[in-house]
Every structure is written in structure tokens, then in C-alpha cells.
Structure 1
Amino acid sequence: MKIVVALMAALGLQWFVMCSNSNAAVKTESVEYKDGKTTLEGFLAYDDAVTSPRPAVVIVHQWMGLTDHERNSAQRLAQQGYVAFALDIYGKGVRPGSPQEAGKLATQYKGDIKSFRQREKAALDFISKNKKVDPKRIVIIGYCFGGTGALEAARAGFPVVGAVSFHGGLSTPNPQETKSVKPKLLVMHGAIDPNVPLPEVEGFMKEMNDAKADYQFIAYSGAVHAFTQKEAGNDPSKGVAYNEAADRRSWQAFMDFLHEVVPVSK
């Protein structure tokens, strides 16, 4: 009889957990917002079962613009209890059709840091007004071109408590202007990335050390540029390639960083 009761209790607990989980659902939507007169289109993901304000993660896309790569990251973050917002640097409807087009757009913004930062600021202003978000607990992250953007947001002193770069560029046009960096930083780098060579890494570290930044720098052996992106292929000799180990390890390092800087209340 005791075994039957225990079994029923266990089944009851399992049913309760299943019902509780069924109430939580990640909601996603495309949203329009503005930078001046320019219309931008981002992607928002959140768990609608959470009613209190929570931390937000803003995601800056790689050079091909807002793609499924960023949307998938947003949904994974929403499952962890964060409001995730994948921003749009280029503008609504502006999506490169080839690497050549992407290169031109990315170069345009990397050459005009003021405009690059302004697009990020527009996204931060937009998401900080969302009632689901605690505006004092926002982290910005980015991939490749977007990793550069995340670091620029930190350099600019935007209201974020953390900035994370996945295989991003590390240089900035005027590093001597970086007097202080308040957000905590996490930089995840392909150890043999030819697009971000050692002199650029050393220059970044000097810049951050001079600015007394709180940063972590992780280099993944055997990894080149775009190591989190499966669409990059698997040939490191091309300078861009997916690396399963680096992808998995960098996401775990990112989760640890979030749990330290902006933990989600249970």
C-alpha cells in the first residue's frame, strides 16, 4: 500500500511539474522601432509566464544582418528567463544578399562609429521602455560585426552592465579615447582567427587595461572567425568556420557571465 501511495505521489508531482511548465511559453515577435526617421525591425523573445521586470539581453547581428542565428539565440535566452531583443543596424528591409553586400554595409558602419553606436543606442532606448524589462539590468552581446558593436556600446558608456563579443573585431578607430569602461566584459575569440590577428588582440588588451576595465578574454584553440555559426562551413583554412567545441564552450561561458552579472530571479 505504501508503494502505491508513493507512486501516486510521484505521478502527482510529475503532473504538477508538467502543468507548471505548460503555462510558460516563449513568445516571439518582429517589432519596429526608430532611429530618427529611419525605421528598424528587430526581433523580440520572452517568456510570457514571467510577470515581473527581468534582465534583458540585446543582440547585435553579424554582417549579414538579422538572421535566424540571432533569432535562435534570442529564443534560447528567453527560455532562461531573459527578455531578448535582436536589434537591427541596417534598417527595415535592408538585408545583404551576398557576402560582398554584407562587407560594404559592415564596412560603412565600422567606418562611421558614431552612426554604429547611435543604432545601438536606439535599440537600447527602445527595449529599456518595455514593461517586462528592468532597465538597470541590460547586457549587450554580438557576433562578428556585432561583437565589435557590443564592445563599442561599452566604450560609449551606454547604460548596459555587461557586453559580450563572440568572435568579434576588437579594434576601434580611436582607442586612446577609451578613458574608462564601466560594464563588465566577456570576449570570446578564435585562437587562430586570421581576421583578428595577435596585434589587434594585444591592442585591445592594452586599451582595456588602461581603461581599468573588468574583462575576461577566452581564446578557443583551433577556432577561427564565426565559430558559432554553422552556416560558416567547416573549413578553418578559409578563415571562417563553425567549431562545435568552441560554440558549446562559449555559450556556457556566456551563461556563467549572465548568472554573475544579471541573474534571473527564481
Structure 2
Amino acid sequence: MTIRTQTLATTAADGTVLLSHVALPDGSTPVAGILVAPEWWGVVEHPKSVAERLAQAGFAAAVMDVYGDGKFTTDAATANAWMTDALSNPMALMDRCARILADFAALPEVDSARIGVAGFCFGGKLGLDMARLAQPIKAVATFHGNPAPIKPAEKDVFTASVLVAHGAADSMVSMQAIDGLKDELAAADVRFEIDVYDNAKHGFSNPAADARAAENGVDLGYNEAAAVASWDKMVAFMRKELA
């Protein structure tokens, strides 16, 4: 399938311009949309590749630029500083997500009633928190995501369905944290599924994870088997939930 890419500019409340990378399938009929919430690195090649693969699969997709100005890094200390700063004002961060969502939903190629979020690491938290705050999304898929809640899910507020892909060898997000998410979602009557992939470390879906680990001395690792299986599961999940 032929796809096209463009930049979506959103203005945050403080005037920062958020430059999200958009990938669209050819065609004139509006299609289901997926926001890609990236890892703490920002809008690097991996989330752009995710958006383009989603467009190849028939979805409209956009990589959310929550840091602003399209900035990105491969330095873990810088990424951690940016993420920590963003999380220090969670409601402003959620407002940025809401504004990107609204601008993405307004694109003529996007069916605004059928939007999901695919979140990676830090982005997994963003997707879950958007649903926790009743932003208009129908599905959230997380890959090695941070499940810490901005506030616990509430019944009839958190209405999105959830798919979680977690690595059994993840030293950054514990199984205890995933069990806590399971309890949180169950208590709110959220429809969810949690898949745990053997021998998969944090960042298992990102082909650049081994390089980032070596450069930064952090415990990341790409796992091709887990990456392929979780991707296929996510695409099937989004096709079902955004039908």
C-alpha cells in the first residue's frame, strides 16, 4: 500500500508547538486512527516506523510530540530529564495529549469516532492516563509500558479496551506493577488482556534497544519473537476495537 506522511502542528497551552509525525494510507474514505505515544526518547525513528507500518495496515497514525518542537534524543539522561519534567505537571501533559488528539481527529482522513492509542514505555502511561481521564479513545495498547496511574481507573470513565504487552525480563517495570494494573482495571470493569513475553526485556519492541542499552548502560533489549507476536496481536486488537 502507498502511504503518505506529513507533520501535524498543535499549539500547547503555553504556546509550544507540538510537531507530530503523521502517516496516512492512500484513499479518500476516513479510516480508524491510532496515536503512537513514543518512548522517552521522543519522536525518533522507531515510533515513526510504527506509524508508517500502521498506515500500511490501513490505519491513520500520528506520533505524539508531547515534548514539543519535534525534539528527540538517544541519550538516556536527557530523555529522563525531559520525561521527568513532563511528568512534573501531569495535567499540562494530558492537555497536550488532548490537543494532539483533537487535531488528529479533525484530519479529513481520520474517523474521529474510531481512535486508539499505541503506547511504548513512557507512552504506555500516556495512553492509559488518557483513558483514565475519559479522553475520547476506544482502545489502548501498551508495549513495555509504565502503568503508574495519574489517578486510578473509574468505572464508566475509563471506557477504552486495553491490551498490555509486557516482558517477563523487564527490570524497569515490575510484574508487581503489572499485577497492580490488572487489579486497577478489573475494579473499574475495564475490558483488558495482559500478555507476558518470556525472555523479553524493557524496550523489547524497539529494534534500536540493544544500541541504546550499549550507549547508555541501561537494561534494554530487543526481542524479535516478542516484538513480532505483540505487534500482530496489537494490529488484530485495533482492527477489532476500532471496527
**3-state secondary structure, aligned to 1:194:** coil
Q: Are residue 211 (structure 1) and residue 188 (structure 2) matched?
A: yes
Q: Percent identity?
A: 27
Q: Are residue 47 (structure 1) and residue 47 (structure 2) matched?
A: no
Q: Which residue of 1 aligns with 2:45?
A: 68
CA distance in 2, matches of 1:231, 1:97: 10
Check the 8 A contact 2:170/2:202 in 1, yes or no.
yes
Q: How many residues align?
A: 238
Q: Are residue 172 (structure 1) and residue 153 (structure 2) matched?
A: no
Bigger Rg, structure 1 or 2: 1
- Greater CA drift, 33-42 or 232-241: 232-241
Of 81, 84, 102, the match for 2:58: 81
Aligned-pair distance for 1:97? 5.5
Aligned-pair distance for 1:164? 0.9
CA distance in 1, matches of 2:51, 2:131: 20
Aligned-pair distance for 1:128? 0.9
Q: Are residue 240 (structure 1) and residue 240 (structure 2) matched?
A: no
Q: Deviations over 1:68-93 (max 9, x none)?
A: 10111111111111111111000005
Q: Which residue of 2 aligns with 1:16?
A: none
Q: Are residue 103 (structure 1) and residue 83 (structure 2) matched?
A: no
Of 92, 107, 112, the match for 1:130: 107
Q: Which residue of 2 aligns with 1:139?
A: 116
Aligned pair in 2 of structure 1 residues 174, 138: CA closer, same or farther (>3 Å)? closer
**3-state secondary structure, aligned to 1:138:** strand
CA distance in 1, matches of 2:166, 2:131: 18
Q: Are residue 115 (structure 1) and residue 82 (structure 2) matched?
A: no
Check the 8 A contact 2:161/2:190 in 1, yes or no.
yes
CA distance in 2, matches of 1:80, 1:202: 32
**3-state secondary structure, aligned to 1:230:** coil
Q: Deviations over 1:109-162 (max 9, x none)?
A: 234321221111011100111111110000111111111111111111110110
Aligned pair in 2 of structure 1 residues 202, 245: CA closer, same or farther (>3 Å)? same
Q: Deviations over 1:1-42 (max 9, x none)?
A: xxxxxxxxxxxxxxxxxxxxxxx5211112322122221101
Q: Which residue of 2 aligns with 1:10?
A: none
Q: Deviations over 1:37-63 (max 9, x none)?
A: 221101111122x11111001111110
Higher helix share: 1
Check the 8 A contact 2:129/2:150 in 1, yes or no.
no
**3-state secondary structure, aligned to 2:72:** coil
Of 250, 256, 265, the match for 2:230: 250
CA distance in 2, matches of 1:28, 1:123: 16
Of 147, 151, 159, the match for 2:136: 159
Q: Which residue of 1 aligns with 2:200?
A: 223
- Return the TM-score normalized by structure 1: 0.84
**Structure 1 runs (4+) greater than 4 angstroms displaced:** 234-238
Aligned-pair distance for 1:104? 0.9
Q: Which amino acid aligns with 1:34?
A: T
Point out where structure 1 has 5 or more consecutive residues left out of the alignment.
1-23
Superposed CA RMSD = 1.9
- Greater CA drift, 183-192 or 232-241: 232-241
Q: Are residue 196 (structure 1) and residue 173 (structure 2) matched?
A: yes
**3-state secondary structure, aligned to 1:90:** coil
- Return the TM-score normalized by structure 2: 0.92
Point out where structure 2 has 5 or more consecutive residues left out of the alignment.
none
Q: Which residue of 2 aligns with 1:182?
A: 159
Check the 8 A contact 2:44/2:73 in 1, yes or no.
no
Q: Which amino acid aligns with 1:213?
A: V
Aligned-pair distance for 1:173? 4.5
Q: Which amino acid aligns with 1:252?
A: D
Check the 8 A contact 2:8/2:104 in 1, yes or no.
no
